[in-house]
Amino acid sequence: MEGGRGDGRGPLECRATFLRTGVVGGATGSAYLEVGRSTRMVVSVWGPRQRDRDGEGSSPHEMQLDCHVHLPFARGEAEEAAGSRGTERERTLARQLEQGILPSIQQDRLKKCCVEVQCTILESNGSDFTPAILCTSFALASSNIPLYDLMTSCTLVVVEGRILLDPTAAELARSEDEVSLAYMPSRDQVTFVQACGDWSERSFKECMDNCVDGCKKMRAVMRSFLVELGEGGGRPASHSLDYFQGGGEVCDQGPGAGEDDAGEKAPMSGGDDDEPRREGGGGAARFEESRVSEKLGNLVVADQDLDAELDTLLDV
C-alpha cells in the first residue's frame, strides 16, 4: 500500500464496517454500526405515527422525518472547550441526516405520518455524516417502512493533492478539499452533497466520481449484511464475499477487498461472543430476520419497477 494513511489503507480503501440490526428492543427498527473499530453508533427508528399538526417542516399533509442526533461522549476537545458547540453539531448533523435520508423513503405511502430517528453516536473518528446515513438506512431497512433503496454514503478528502476515501479525524483536519455524498445506487441518484474546497469543473467531477464509487462499494457491504440477516447468519462469510465481488466493476482492489471482508468478520464474531448484548436483542433479532428477507424482496421489486419505469421513459 502507498504509505501515509497511518492504518495501512490504500487511498481509495474504506475501513471495515460492521452492521447489526435489532439492538434496541421496542423500536420499529434499529441498527448498530462500527467503522474501523473507532466509530460506533446506534440508530433506532420509531413510528410511523401521526405527525404533529404544527410541527416544523413542509405542509402538514407530507410525511415528516424527525431526526435527532446525540453525542453523549463523542465530542472533540474543541467542542468541550466551546461548551455549547456540541449541541450545535448535533443539530447540524440531524438536519443533514434528514435531508440525506428522506428521498429514500417512499413518502407517498406515509402521508401525514411522522417517522422518528434517534441516532446516538458513541464514538467518532472521522466524518459523522457518512456512518450516520449508513446506520440510519440500515435501521430503516430493518423496520417496515417502505423504501426505494438502501441509502449509501461516502466522504472523500484531498490531503496534499491525494484523494482519500473514508478519512479519519486526523485526515479530515488536514483536508484541503472535502466532499460528502449520499447516494442511492439502484436509482443512480445523489440525494445529498456537502462539499467545501477549491475545484475546477473537471476536478470536482473527478472527486464526485470517486465518491460515488465509494458509495457503490459500501452498498455491496450493506447488502451482504442484509443477506446474512435474511439467511439467518448461517454462512455469512461466503455470502458477503460473493456480493463484494459481484460489485467488482466498482472495486479497484479486488484481492484487497477480500481481505477487507475478512476484517469485517472478525468484529462480527466478537460481537457474537458478547453474551449479554446478544441475549438483550436475541428475540428481536430473530423477529427482524424474517422482516429483513421480506424487505429484501421488496427492494428487488422496487428495482424492477424502476427499470420498467425507465424503459417506458426511454421509449417515449
Partner 1 sequence: MATTGEDVWVAGVRGNVRQDGRENSEYRRITIQNGTIEHAQGSALVQIGDTKVLAAASLEIGEPREGRPKSGVVRVTVDCTLCYPVDGTNWRSYDRYGKDLASQVEDLYNGPRGSSKGVLDEENDLCLAEGQSVWCFTIDCVVLSDDGSLLDCLSLACRSCLCDVGIPKFEVLETNEVGPSGPEITIEEDPNQYWQLQCARVPVYVSLGLVETLWVYDLCKNEENHCRSRLTFGVDASGAIKQVVSGASGTCVNYSRNVANIIEAACLAGRKLLSSIDSVDQGKDQHLFHIGK
Residues that bind partner 1 (CB under 8 A): 56, 58, 91-92, 95, 99-100, 102-103, 157, 159, 172-179, 183, 187-201, 204-205, 208, 212
Beta carbon of residue 285, minimum distance to partner 1 (angstroms, whole number): 31
Q: Contact, 42 vs 288, CB < 8 A?
A: no
Can you tell me whether residue 212 is helix, strand or coil? Answer: helix
Q: Give, in order, the Cα–Cα distances in Å from 152 to each of 44, 163, 176, 181, 216.
A: 17, 19, 24, 8, 7
Beta carbon of residue 92, minimum distance to partner 1 (angstroms, whole number): 7
Neighbours of 72 (CB within 10 A): 9
The residue among 183 and 225 lying less far from partner 1, judged by its C-beta, is 183
Of 233, 63, 218, nearest to 130 (Cα)? 218
Q: Contact, 249 vs 292, CB < 8 A?
A: no
Q: Which residues share a beta bridge with 44?
A: 30, 118
Beta carbon of residue 194, minimum distance to partner 1 (angstroms, whole number): 6
The residue among 30 and 191 lying less far from partner 1, judged by its C-beta, is 191
The residue among 206 and 274 lying less far from partner 1, judged by its C-beta, is 206
Beta carbon of residue 231, minimum distance to partner 1 (angstroms, whole number): 31
The residue among 161 and 234 lying less far from partner 1, judged by its C-beta, is 161
The residue among 183 and 244 lying less far from partner 1, judged by its C-beta, is 183
Beta carbon of residue 212, minimum distance to partner 1 (angstroms, whole number): 6
Please identify which residue in the block is written with the cell numbers 474546497. 197
The residue among 42 and 179 lying less far from partner 1, judged by its C-beta, is 179
According to DSSP H, which parts of 56-180 are helical? 77-82, 85-101, 129-142, 169-173
Q: What radius of gyration, in Å, describes the C-alpha atoms of the chain?
A: 19
The residue among 33 and 212 lying less far from partner 1, judged by its C-beta, is 212
Q: In the structure grid, which three cell numbers stand for residue 5, read together? A: 494513511
- What angle do the packed helices 85-101 and 129-142 form, to 10 degrees? 50
Beta carbon of residue 278, minimum distance to partner 1 (angstroms, whole number): 36
The backbone torsions φ and ψ at residue 152, rounded to the nearest 5 degrees and listed phi first, read -115, 165
Which residues have a Cβ under 8 Å from the Cβ of 67 and sit 6 or more positions away? 94, 95, 97, 98, 101, 116, 117, 119, 136
- What angle do the packed helices 275-315 and 254-273 form, to 10 degrees? 140
The residue among 172 and 241 lying less far from partner 1, judged by its C-beta, is 172
Beta carbon of residue 132, minimum distance to partner 1 (angstroms, whole number): 15
Beta carbon of residue 294, minimum distance to partner 1 (angstroms, whole number): 26
